[in-house]
C-alpha cells in the first residue's frame, strides 16, 4: 500500500470517528439541565452539563491506533530483501507492542483528545457568552450551542459542539451581518466558502430590499454554517492526526530495525517527498527531494525543524493539512562492504 493509499484509507476513518464523538456528546445532553444552569448565570455549570469529556472520542482514539500500526507495518514492508553474511534473509518487523512505539502512540492519543476537548470547551463558552450578550434567552442560547432535534432523524443538528472558538467567531460574525440590515455587511455572507449556497437567493433578496433577514431564516442559515464547518473541522483533524500517526510510526519502525541490529543508523537517510500538486505549501515544495540522515531534521524555509512530515513537535502551521511523506534509503552495499572487511580482518 502506498503512502497516499494509507492516507485515503485512514483519514476518512478518523473523520468519521470524530463525527461519531461529536454525535455521542450531542445525544447525551439533557437540554433542561443546560437551561437551568444558564438561568442561574452558571456558565461553568452549563458547560459541565454538556459532558464534553475525552471518553466521547474513544472511537477516534481507536482509529488513530489503527493508522499508527498500519504506518509502521507499511514502512518495514517497503524495505527491500536483504541477506546477512551467512545468506539468511533478514526479516524486518514492526513491533506494535514495542515500548517506545506504545509511548509514542499514547502521547499522540492523549494530545489529540485533550486538544479537541479543550477546543470544544473554549468554543462552547464563547458561544454561550455571545448568545446571552445579544439578548437571547437561556433556552435559545442553549439550543444555538447544542443544536436542535430533527423530528425526522431524532438527532440534534446544527449547534457548535465540535467547533473551535475561531470557527464560532467566524459564524457569529455572519449571524450579526445577516441581522444587521446593512447591504454591505450582508454581502459578506456571500463570500463565505462554507456557506450553503441554497440560501443565496434569500440573502440577495434581503440585500435588494435593504432589510435584515427574518430571525428564522438566519437561524437556518447559521445552522448549515455550523454543520459545514463541523465537517471541515473533522476533515482537518483527521488529516493532521493521520499524518502524525503515519509519520511517527514509520520513523519508529525504521528505528526498531536499527535498535535490533538489522541495519545501522549511518546507512539510513530519509528523503522528503511532497504530494506534488499545487496544494502543497510553499515551504514543503522547497523541501521536496531533500535528504538528511536518520537522526537529522529537515529545515523548512520558515525556520522550523521537522523530523518528518506530520512531526508532532513541529509548529502547527507546518503540519496542519500536510500530505507529504518521507522515504527511507538504506546503503546496503556499504553495510555489506563493512561486514566483508570485518570478516577479512
CA 160/CA 175 separation, integer angstroms:
13
183 Cβ contact list (under 8 Å, min separation 6): 207, 210
Domain boundaries, the chain: 3-263, 264-345
Looking at residue 87, its pLDDT comes to 73
pLDDT at 304: 95
User: pLDDT per residue over 155-189, tens digit each?
Assistant: 888 899 999 999 999 999 999 999 999 999 999 99
Binned average pLDDT, 10 residues per bin, the chain of 345 residues: 92 96 94 96 96 94 97 91 74 92 96 93 94 92 92 87 94 93 94 96 93 91 94 95 96 95 92 91 95 96 95 93 92 62 54
pLDDT tens string 118-154: 999 999 999 999 999 989 999 999 999 999 988 888 8
In the prediction, which pLDDT does 20 show? 95
Ramachandran angles phi, psi of 310, nearest 5°: 85, 15
pLDDT of 42: 96
- In a 10 Å sphere around its CB, with 0-12 CB exposed, 13-18 middle and 19+ buried, how is residue 20 labelled? middle
In angstroms, the CA 48 to CA 52 distance is 7
Q: What is the pLDDT of residue 89?
A: 83
**In this structure, what C-alpha cell is assigned to residue 5?**
493509499
| Measured distance CA(296)–CA(224) in Å, rounded | 46
Report pLDDT for 341.
57
As a whole number of angstroms, the distance between CA 19 and CA 235 comes to 10
Amino acid at each position: 500500500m502506498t503512502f497516499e493509499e494509507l492516507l485515503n484509507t485512514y483519514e476518512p476513518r478518523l473523520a468519521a470517528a470524530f463525527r461519531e464523538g461529536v454525535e455521542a456528546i450531542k445525544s447525551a445532553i439533557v437540554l433542561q439541565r443546560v437551561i437551568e444552569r444558564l438561568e442561574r448565570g452558571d456558565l461553568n455549570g452549563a458547560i459541565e452539563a454538556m459532558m464534553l469529556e475525552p471518553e466521547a472520542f474513544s472511537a477516534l482514539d481507536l482509529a488513530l491506533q489503527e493508522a499508527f500500526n498500519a504506518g509502521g507495518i507499511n514502512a518495514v514492508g517497503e524495505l527491500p530483501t536483504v541477506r546477512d553474511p551467512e545468506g539468511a534473509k533478514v526479516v524486518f518487523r514492526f513491533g506494535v507492542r514495542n515500548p517506545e512505539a506504545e509511548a509514542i502512540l499514547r502521547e499522540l492519543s492523549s494530545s489529540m483528545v485533550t486538544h479537541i476537548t479543550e477546543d470544544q470547551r473554549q468554543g462552547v463558552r464563547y458561544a454561550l457568552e455571545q448568545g446571552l450578550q445579544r439578548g437571547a434567552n437561556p433556552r435559545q442560547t442553549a439550543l444555538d450551542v447544542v443544536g436542535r432535534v430533527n423530528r425526522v432523524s431524532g438527532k440534534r443538528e446544527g449547534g457548535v459542539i465540535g467547533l473551535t472558538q475561531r470557527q464560532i467567531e467566524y459564524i457569529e460574525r455572519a449571524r450579526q451581518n445577516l441581522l444587521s440590515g446593512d447591504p454591505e455587511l450582508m454581502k459578506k455572507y456571500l463570500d463565505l466558502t462554507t456557506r450553503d449556497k441554497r440560501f443565496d437567493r434569500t440573502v440577495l433578496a434581503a440585500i435588494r430590499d435593504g432589510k435584515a433577514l427574518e430571525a428564522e431564516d438566519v437561524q437556518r442559515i447559521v445552522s448549515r454554517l455550523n454543520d459545514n464547518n463541523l465537517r471541515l473541522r473533522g476533515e482537518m483533524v483527521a488529516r493532521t492526526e493521520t499524518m502524525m500517526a503515519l509519520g511517527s510510526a514509520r520513523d519508529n519502525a525504521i528505528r526498531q530495525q536499527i535498535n535490533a541490529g538489522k541495519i545501522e543508523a549511518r546507512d539510513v537517510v530519509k528523503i522528503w517527498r511532497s504530494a506534488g500538486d499545487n496544494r502543497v505549501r510553499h515551504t514543503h515544495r522547497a523541501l521536496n527531494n531533500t535528504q538528511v540522515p536518520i537522526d537529522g531534521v529537515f529545515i523548512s524555509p520558515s525556520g522550523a525543524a521537522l523530523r518528518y512530515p506530520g512531526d508532532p513537535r513541529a509548529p502547527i502551521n507546518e503540519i496542519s493539512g500536510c500530505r507529504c511523506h518521507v522515504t527511507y534509503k538504506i546503503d546496503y552495499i556499504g553495510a555489506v562492504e563493512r561486514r566483508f572487511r570485518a570478516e577479512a580482518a
